[in-house]
Structure 1
């Protein structure tokens, strides 16, 4: 969060609005910068003390599950049915599976925080000016993409006379399937999406990272790393570091969501004023397949303390945001707050940050649910037409997580170990001297160390859903 006009967390345009419009005063028990999971760790400490506030919102799935399991929070299903506005209820009905992770024995103990559809579905952002300079067509297949990356890495597309550019930048510190610098689409070109449960041919659930198709994707990616198309440092890149390589003008392609046009891609012109970035469709694999990580329209959850005497107060707050901010009506027709995320100059509406007194502030981040209120299907109004046409032209390529339930019994004890085994194996194969045989050994260990039992449990959940 950033503030201006001397404002701070408990005294700002949002808290004043809540008190003046709704008669609700918002106070915080504590705050903490969220570096290295500090927020989740602090929540767990306070949870153990039983020191929870009336309302808790969190994004990280594991800590939400810990809070539910603590027994300190209300069943929220009946409250939602009684107090939620028709607009909020209709938005929630767009994908009822968003409730699944927070249920116990058919009862809901957290309210999903809705997000726009396709919020982190990746598309490819490519340097169109590099393609033009090297007289290359937009790549449509993995094979064509490989040729483009070779040229980007070896033919001096930035014209500085140095061999200091790469074809593709990825974030591979923790997972191949991530929100910026994503590489799930490479696996998708071979028929699987890693780090999630996908629909199997028999209609059941299959974990994407242990399928034979993942082995083929790793083989191709390893070749790209060895040839210098992907930097070896990608092993340690998080999402912003992967983006920094692109924004600094050293990489020609990055995969990420539609909203990258607003951040961080505009920073590229600081380094390369004549740079032109174009969103393109994901390339198909050898068998014509296309796939990418799909996005469930959810961005965390709201939990209500059993000690809260009047939970209807929170619903009055969130209902108003859904009824007006999510629908861009009334006082929120132009944005969240005048002179923060929009203003008028000589009677003309503008969202130009340079014209807003004191600069642009996304005041919606001050709200209790991170973004005010979002209706998943309203995403289209947020995307420029030329980007939406690319994204939605491959809507069928989105592969959403198919296991949306709470952690299974074996997941609670084995999942962290299996994720670590997976990540270390993939990194060893891609960036070190690992071989395809290491993938086969990983799959065997994955099944032996609990993956086989978890596969059974996830499919039992599916059959009983």
Structure 2
């Protein structure tokens, strides 16, 4: 009996040693099995044989269109992707970009345990991003990034380390921040310049100046049709007032409180929507509703729908980024003959304060999530590396010297590069994300240069051919914001706190409902103090403590 036991023990030890040696020698393969296997298919810069990557699409129906009989799976981009990198693209489903339908469909797919694509490009609310990251359906990307990310990508990550804050869980990164151009979200006021000229109006320097202009745009029939059907400004009052287009953060900034984000006050972070300045901004919005400067239907419109009030010729002002002459503002000139628009700086409040939202603390325009069951998790890296190295800032004589594809986003006419034509489409609308690849500081620096000098590099020539004088002037305004220090990023980029998970939706809805009722006069603005007390007692105070604990750990 003892001999048998000793024999079993010896066998177990030997098996353990052998097993340990096998695990030790194959540990890398166990951790990144798919990466090791799939790397062997990457031959001479492409997959051979080709692989298939699945995706889902948030379709911006207002700006994305197809030509030449193409569709989501068969178009100039998917053909290029397969020919160049050996990647076939398969679309599981497409949802239009209206009323948060894409996020709703994603969350429904996860809750129903439905098939998810290999890659999801998500751009939307912080709350939904947290739900996606916490779903357990996506893989950590730390090792993949270290192994496969290009030097350009890693340089950006080193310059903007806060880009990782929102996608980090328990020390691991579960999403790839999609690089954006820096200073790409700050609002300028886009105003109907032909209306300004018709009435001899001057640039507004203060909120009071702006109100005089809005009164003219609302009450003096600026479109000349003999009807009382125009408005001073196009905005969305549906969900958030601090948003990427049809924005109102600048109004709150005029009173010293950028709403719906965490701002620095002293050495602490404070929530802008509960600061005294927010009450003054809400009071002003209530006045503007009463005077008809804002359409009462604004509470039902999202950002894109609100912009249609401006592009249809029925509003004189809209706040948004410097790139809006690229989209959607050209729709105005297509709709209204002789219409002109021009960018103006945001005005100052009664105490001389000015401020606009600036997105997050890093230039990021969404998150790439990789399915934990993906057989090719490294494929996105090969793809994005290629675009960063060849498309984002192309070399003279390269495949992307003039754009992505002739006849789509550019033509050469009489030896000149033509890019700004309504018939053109952006092949990057069909890509793995919703745009190509961007080197953060390149665009704003290029626009600043083009305001003074002629273009030299292919990228500069593309920008010159595509971007209008109006956009270049608007970029100069944004650069001036930077010099004056009046653009403010949301300084909380961390993962959802415990209070956010438990009470975040409650606090958001509380703010939304209270603000809406004060703006529309269903409650007097004087109840603002009661709202603040209720917000704090309902978890706001605890949330503030958690946010500041995080801030102390990273600042």
Give the corresponding residue for 2:87.
24
Contact 1:336 1:363 in 2 (8 A): yes
Give the corresponding residue for 2:323.
259
Question: Separation in 1 of the partners of 2:306 and 2:376?
Answer: 45
RMSD (Å), alpha carbons? 2.0
Give the corresponding residue for 2:528.
439
Give the corresponding residue for 1:307.
373
Deviation for aligned residue 1:270: 4.0
Q: Deviations over 1:409-450 (max 9, x none)?
A: 010121111111111111111113321222111111101111
| Distance change in 2, residues 1:167/1:52 (3 Å) | closer
Give the corresponding residue for 1:386.
473
Confirm or deny that 1:284 pairs with 2:348.
yes
Question: Separation in 2 of the partners of 1:236 and 1:151?
Answer: 25
**Aligned positions of 1:300-449 closer than 5 A:** 300-329=366-395, 330-353=398-421, 359-380=423-444, 381=446, 384-395=471-482, 396-449=485-538
Q: Deviations over 1:319-358 (max 9, x none)?
A: 001111111332112112221111223443212436xxxx
Question: Separation in 2 of the partners of 1:204 and 1:38?
Answer: 36
Contact 2:99 2:302 in 1 (8 A): no
- Structure showing greater radius of gyration is 2
Deviation for aligned residue 1:188: 0.3
> Where in structure 1 are there 5+ consecutive unaligned residues?
none
Give the TM-score of the pair, scaled to structure 1: 0.93
Question: Separation in 1 of the partners of 2:202 and 2:94?
Answer: 50
Question: May I ask how many residue pairs the two structures share in their alignment?
Answer: 460
Question: Separation in 1 of the partners of 2:298 and 2:133?
Answer: 36
Q: Deviations over 1:388-422 (max 9, x none)?
A: 11222122221111100011001012111111111
Give the corresponding residue for 2:66.
3
Question: Separation in 2 of the partners of 1:430 and 1:172?
Answer: 9
Comparing 72-81 and 180-189, the one that deviates more: 72-81
Contact 2:188 2:474 in 1 (8 A): no
Give the corresponding residue for 2:22.
none
Question: Separation in 1 of the partners of 2:98 and 2:197?
Answer: 41
Contact 1:195 1:207 in 2 (8 A): yes
Contact 1:92 1:114 in 2 (8 A): no
| Distance change in 2, residues 1:253/1:38 (3 Å) | closer
Give the corresponding residue for 2:146.
81
Contact 2:188 2:319 in 1 (8 A): yes
Contact 1:172 1:237 in 2 (8 A): yes
Confirm or deny that 1:205 pairs with 2:298.
no
SS in 2 for 1:299: strand
| Distance change in 2, residues 1:55/1:169 (3 Å) | closer
SS in 1 for 2:388: helix
Question: Separation in 2 of the partners of 1:142 and 1:135?
Answer: 18
Question: Separation in 2 of the partners of 1:233 and 1:39?
Answer: 23
| Distance change in 2, residues 1:72/1:352 (3 Å) | closer
Give the corresponding residue for 1:229.
293
Give the TM-score of the pair, scaled to structure 2: 0.78
Question: Separation in 1 of the partners of 2:71 and 2:167?
Answer: 32
Deviation for aligned residue 1:310: 4.0
> Where in structure 2 are there 5+ consecutive unaligned residues?
1-63, 447-462
